[in-house]
Chains A and B, each alone.
Chain A
Amino acid sequence: MKIKSQLLIIFLLISLIPIIVIYFFSINRFQDVVKADHGENFQRLAEEKAAWIDYVISERIADAKHLAANKELIRAVTLANEKYNSISNKEIGKKIRSIDEDWIERKGKTKIAKEILGSKLSLSLRDFQESEVEKYGEIFVTDKRGATVAMTKSLTDYYQADEGWWQGSYFGGKGRVFLDYRGFDKSVGGVSLGVGVPVIKDSVVIGILKFNNRINEILSIVGEKGDKKSRDNFILDTHGSLIAFAGKEEKFAPTNFEKELVKRGGSGWAEEAHSTRDVLLAYAPIKSDIYERIQSQEAKKGISGEGWELAKWFIFVEVDRDIAFAPVREISGSIFVMSAMMMAFIIVLAILIARGIARPLEKFTKSAEKIGRGELTHKIEFSTNNEWGILAKAFNDMAENLANTTVSRDQLAEEVSERKIAEEALKIKDSAIENSINAIVISNIEGCLTYVNPAFLDMWGFENPREVIGRYLADLVKDPNELSAVNEKIELEGRWVGELTQKRKDGTFFEAQLSATIIKDKKGHRLHQMASFEDITSSKLAKRALEASMERVANAQRIAHLGNWEWNVKTGKIFWSDEIYRIFGFEPGEFIATYDKFLESINPKDKERVLLAVEGAINKKGNYSVDYRTRGRGGNIRTVHEDGRVIFNKAGVAEKMVGTTLDITDRKLAEVELRKAKEEAERANAAKSVFLSSMSHEIRTPMNAIVGMSELLAETSLNKDQKAYVDTFKRAGAVLLNLINDILDLSKIEAGHMELDEVDFDVYECANNVADLFITIAAEKGVRIKVEKTKDVPRFFRGDEGRLGQILTNLVGNAVKFSKTGVITVKVDISGEGDFEEGKTRLLFSVEDNGIGISEEKLETIFEEFTQADTTTTRRYGGTGLGLTISKKIVSLMDGRMWVKSRLKEGSIFYFTANLKASELKDTQVLPSDALGLSELPLNLIGVKVLVVDDSKTSSTILIGLLNGYGMECTWATTFSEAAWKIRAETKKGTPYKLFIVDSKLAEDNDYDVIKRIKKDSALKDGVIVMLFSDSRLVDIKSARGMGISDYIVKPLKKNKLLRIVDKALRRAGFAGGEKPKHLEATKNTLKILLVDDSSDNRFLIEAYLKNSPYSLEMASDGVEALEKFKENSFDLILMDMEMPVMDGYEATKEIRLWEKSEGLSHTIILALTAYALKEEAKRSISAGCDGHVNKPVLKDTLISVIERYRQGIKN
């Protein structure tokens, strides 16, 4: 802390603390004095007021006494007393009470009252009262018995001796003055103080005179000298009751403290804290004895009259403490102001003193600092002669002495310094020459060397200067004649710069850059010659290397027809490599390239485009690439590709542009050729596709007839040979049809015409349906097919179920075809590959077999068209070799890929992925087509009415033939008008058609009239429309569905396919089944059926169902019994309940399959019986080895249809 601040603080502390202490002490003291003074003054005031009130009361008493001594009054009273002398005391009492009662009852309006009021004495008293009306409210007189003798106004009663004041005055006949205070008195018209005095005659009390005084005067004394704003004056009696009050409070109530003071008695002063304010009060007693009417205990209990009690009055003078102490506040304010002023004065004084000390100190400090910095001539200015002045003088003397000694030392240093600098400069020069990279030599005028630097020794290969000093420069060059010529030039021009070949000590040569000068004296005489050499051998070599490199670049550019350029945007200067000149049709270096020249070189048709590219690159701060044609000298127009890059400075302004220009004329020509070739190839391919598809179409038409008719023919009664022939051409037809279908699919995919359907479908059902297709064929080979479910894969997706099924059919079909034993596993899982798409799932399907496998070298080609793993394969296993190709292409359409892992003789796994949309259906929901829960079984179609609308007789014949086979009632219409007519007729009959199969070509030709008509007709709202296409290329699924068409069939018509589509379409429309079969078709092929069921009810029932059938039935009540019977007999079909005691159906089926295998028996059809089977249970039964299942409770028709369906298989 600075001295100045410290001084300031000390001064302030010393002066301020006493001031503050004195201030508070004096204020307190003053307050005490004021308080005592006020208290005593107020006490005096209270005592004065009390004395005054006593005086007023005594005056009234005196007045009363004076009147009581009046002779007239005494006489009148005497007379009144004498009136009763003749009557006994008892009678007197009675009479007086009688008069009193009458008086009270008539409210003083009796005769006697009037007489008294009109008596002389009464008139006199009234005169007296009215003369002092301010003092006296009422005056009356009684006789010695208390009976009223005279009165100034009518009294309320006649008899007064029963009242306290009367008894107090009468005082047992002794008589005395009796003051009574009764608060507000109606008869007086204000607060009243009664004065009762005895009327005495001959020292005997003969009556009582009563003055009821108005005490306004007393009240005014209370208030007198009281300032309403500052003081409260009041009278309290000894009971603490407030008698009178004069002050500022509206609702004054005495405090307990004040009541307590009254009880103590005497006079005094005190301080009191009221609830709202603090006061200073003084009090003094009034001496007069005043009686106050009190309610006696009896009176309180309501038994009898009133009592009187002596009460002392006290007068209080009370003032607010704030007001009392106002002078104290005033004085304390003044003291405060004075103290503050004194403090301010002290602070100023302290500051001045501190500054007086601190300033010279600062001055000395600054001066010392200056001298410290070397300003030795500095002097302190101090004019005073005090201690500061003496100190300043001593300081200045000291500085002066210091200055004198310091100056001489600087001069010395300066001289030393100059000498040192000169020596240093000389050393630097020496060092520079000695350390110079260049060789430096000094020779005399004759050329004899006098000095060489170390670089010279290095350059020429000498080790010691002595080796060369004294030798001539001519000895050290390759050609002394050349040196002579140089010397002549030096002689002439004074200096020479050039290249000269030098000769080293070892005789080798090197190129050196030489600069030589003549050193002259001041008079211009030549003294020496100095030369500096720089070895330029390496830079010469580098230059030659650069030239070679540039030549190579130039050659490369020439060969590649690629030139580079650089354009300085600011200066407009352009550099062109030689090749650029050539590309633009000029000779290299024919002119200096400029930007204008560049623009001229561009073909006018392309110029604008090039400029836009260049400007774009500059504006967008990027690169540009542009192809354009040159103007071409002599018609030699070239096409070039130019890449440019703009180089910007730090400010972002384009500085220059660099780039390359490539002659692509030849490449362009080649591209055109290539495009032409590609278009040619595409045309050829398209032609091939058209050819294939039209060929297929042409084949398909007769095929329709062949296949359809063979299906029909197979339904007729044929002998064994005939059946074999029909089967052969059915098979051949099927092979041909497959081939055509595959070719069509392929051409459709290649032509980009294949569109995928998008419907909700159950992915497991799709896989299971495929597995079901092959289950019988596989079982015959001893191969099992299982579909494995993966937990996380949802059931439902949106996509093309048919195409997915086609891929799986191909893969499972191949697996069955190429397997002899084992299990084929179809798995569905989530694929981890590919990009995730919102709302889509990429599924991974795999089909694994234990078949013949594929060799490594064939793995790559199996997806190619018309390729199978082995040429022998086709012969042995059949197939077109298109299946995998088509499958792979469909997979691509599903945004997936297909691949295979395989080992020869061990088996193959085919994988494929498909990106499918998520379905809104939940796993627990069922597809509309599944709603019946009997989807595994074909619908009963007997009696279902069908209208076939087709103009082709062959097609219609086959169609109707096949449908009739299912018991359907078919009608044929060749035209749309005929169809409309038939629809109308049948609807009218109340037997509307249920199913419409419409030829697509005919429908198209007629603008789909019939379809619109069917859709409009409410009677046909449940009708199902199936469209018949002759060519799959024509199928437009989306439009067909949009029109309300349920499904479609592509010709040729095959029985199974037709049934499947009709069944599916009818199910979708909510159709549950046709009429019950009227009779069971008798058949010669009796089947042996084994029924295994633990429920006798079921056994009886099925027995009843099959009673009249051509089937023979045997029964077993559990798995063990079934197995025994199976081992002993052969059966065509087993109906197996799955839930049984002892051995259940699953176990029994497995055992049967094992037995068949071990004994080499053929596959027996086993149908599972399950009660309201869940799909999982159905699958479980299939896994156990069952061929199908029937839901319990099983109905007769269903059972017979199922048995019939399998009977066909068994027969075949």
Chain B
Amino acid sequence: MEGTVESEGINNPKEKVEIKVESYLKEIVPGYLEKRAENVLRLRGALEAGDFEVVQHLGHDMKGTGTGYGFQLITELGAGIEAAGKAKDREEGFLLVKELEGYLSNLELRYE
């Protein structure tokens, strides 16, 4: 996993990630991203508590929605988080959540 994290450069707090968002999604994208930020906290809590069902569920949701909103990486990370939840791999879960957090904080949206 370390390769993926580093190669994406997501952990680098200075590097902004610019995402183009279709203008018709303008109204729903901020709410979506807020939920994801909230998800980061929920995921951390669930991972701490060992509640992998919740981890799996949240990952599944992200996997199914990310790309639709224009965030391919959220779908990918969601799939990873779902798999980590399924495998009860806490360490991997934390890494992915951290990556998600980095991604969310570095996002710069551009509506088209």
Chain A interface (Cβ < 8 Å from any Cβ of B): 1095, 1097-1098, 1100-1105, 1107-1108, 1139, 1171-1172, 1192-1196
Contacts and interface: CB of A to CB of B under 8 A. Distances in A.
Interface string B54-94: 00000011011111110000010001000000000000000
10 contacts: A1097-B35, A1100-B31, A1100-B32, A1101-B65, A1101-B68, A1105-B24, A1108-B24, A1193-B66, A1193-B67, A1196-B22
A1172 B67 contact: no
A1195 B68 contact: yes
A82 B31 CA distance: 145
A1171 B68 contact: no
Contacts of A1105: 24
Which of A1103, A1192, A1195 has the most chain B CB atoms closer than 10 A to its own CB? A1192
Contacts of A1101: 25, 28, 65, 68-69
B15 to A, nearest CB: 25
A296 B22 CA distance: 120
B27 interface: yes
Q: Which 6 A-B pairs have the closest CB atoms?
A: A1193-B67, A1097-B65, A1192-B64, A1171-B64, A1100-B28, A1193-B68
B24 A1098 contact: no
Contacts of B31: 1100
B63 A1104 contact: no
Contacts of A1095: 61, 64-65
Contacts of A1100: 28, 31-32
B32 A1097 contact: yes
B5 to A, nearest CB: 22
Nearest to A1096: B35
B60 A1171 contact: yes
B64 A1104 contact: no
A1139 B63 CA distance: 13
Contact of B75 (A1098, A1107, A1108, A1193): A1193
Interface in B16-58: 22, 24-25, 27-28, 31-32, 35
Given A1104-B25, A1104-B27, A1097 B63 contact: no
A1102 B65 CA distance: 10
Nearest to B72: A1193
Contacts of A1108: 24
Given A1098-B68, A1194-B68, A1195-B68, A1171 B28 contact: no
Given A1095-B65, A1097-B69, 8 more contacts: A1097-B35, A1101-B68, A1103-B28, A1105-B24, A1108-B24, A1194-B68, A1195-B68, A1196-B22
A1103 B63 CA distance: 19
Query: In the complex, which of the residues B61, B64, B65 has the most CB atoms of chain A within 10 Å of its own CB atom?
Result: B64
A1101 B67 CA distance: 10
Interface residues of B, number: 19
Contacts of A1192: 63-65, 68
Given A1172-B79, A1193-B75, A1098 B64 contact: yes
Indicate the member of B27, B65, B75 with the most A CB atoms within 10 Å.
Answer: B65
Contacts of B63: 1171-1172, 1192-1193
A4 B60 CA distance: 113
A323 B66 CA distance: 115
A1102 B31 CA distance: 15
Contacts of B60: 1139, 1171
A1195 B66 CA distance: 10
B40 to A, nearest CB: 15
A784 B24 CA distance: 40
B65 A1193 contact: yes
Contacts of A1139: 60
Contacts of B79: 1172
A1139 B57 CA distance: 11
Contacts of B69: 1097, 1101
B65 A1107 contact: no
Contacts of B27: 1104
A1107 B26 CA distance: 12
Nearest to B31: A1100
Contacts of A1195: 67-68
Contacts of B32: 1097, 1100
A901 B73 CA distance: 55
A999 to B, nearest CB: 41
Given A1095-B61, A1171-B60, A1193-B75, A1104 B24 contact: yes
A1107 B68 contact: no
Nearest to B66: A1193
Contacts of A1103: 28
Contacts of A1194: 68
A793 to B, nearest CB: 29
A1183 to B, nearest CB: 22
B43 to A, nearest CB: 15
Contact of B64 (A1107, A1193, A1196): A1193
A1196 B67 CA distance: 10
A1105 B66 CA distance: 14
A1107 B66 contact: no
A1105 B32 CA distance: 15
A714 to B, nearest CB: 32
A925 B78 CA distance: 24
Nearest to B22: A1196
A119 to B, nearest CB: 113
A763 B68 CA distance: 33
A999 B64 CA distance: 44
Contacts of A1172: 63, 79
A1104 B24 CA distance: 7
B107 to A, nearest CB: 16
A1091 to B, nearest CB: 13
A1192 B79 CA distance: 12
A1107 B27 CA distance: 12
Nearest to B60: A1171
A1139 B75 CA distance: 17
Contacts of A1102: 68
Contacts of A1196: 22, 68
A1194 B68 CA distance: 6
A1196 B28 CA distance: 15
Nearest to B75: A1193
Contacts of B65: 1095, 1097-1098, 1101, 1192-1193
B92 to A, nearest CB: 19
B42 to A, nearest CB: 14
A1167 to B, nearest CB: 15
Contacts of B25: 1101, 1104
A719 B71 CA distance: 45
B51 to A, nearest CB: 16
B104 to A, nearest CB: 14
A1196 B23 CA distance: 13
A1171 B76 CA distance: 12
A678 B42 CA distance: 86
Nearest to A1199: B68
Contacts of A1104: 24-25, 27-28
A1077 to B, nearest CB: 13
B85 to A, nearest CB: 14
Contacts of A1171: 60, 63-64
Contacts of A1097: 32, 35, 61, 64-65, 68-69
A583 B84 CA distance: 96
Most A CB within 10 A of own CB, among B28, B35, B63: B28
A1102 B27 CA distance: 13
> Which of A1097, A1100, A1171 counts the most chain B CB atoms within 10 A?
A1097
A1196 to B, nearest CB: 8
A1098 B75 CA distance: 13
A249 to B, nearest CB: 85
Point out which of A1095, A1102, A1103 has the most chain B C-beta atoms below 10 A from its C-beta: A1095
Contacts of A1098: 64-65, 68
B73 to A, nearest CB: 12
Nearest to A1193: B67
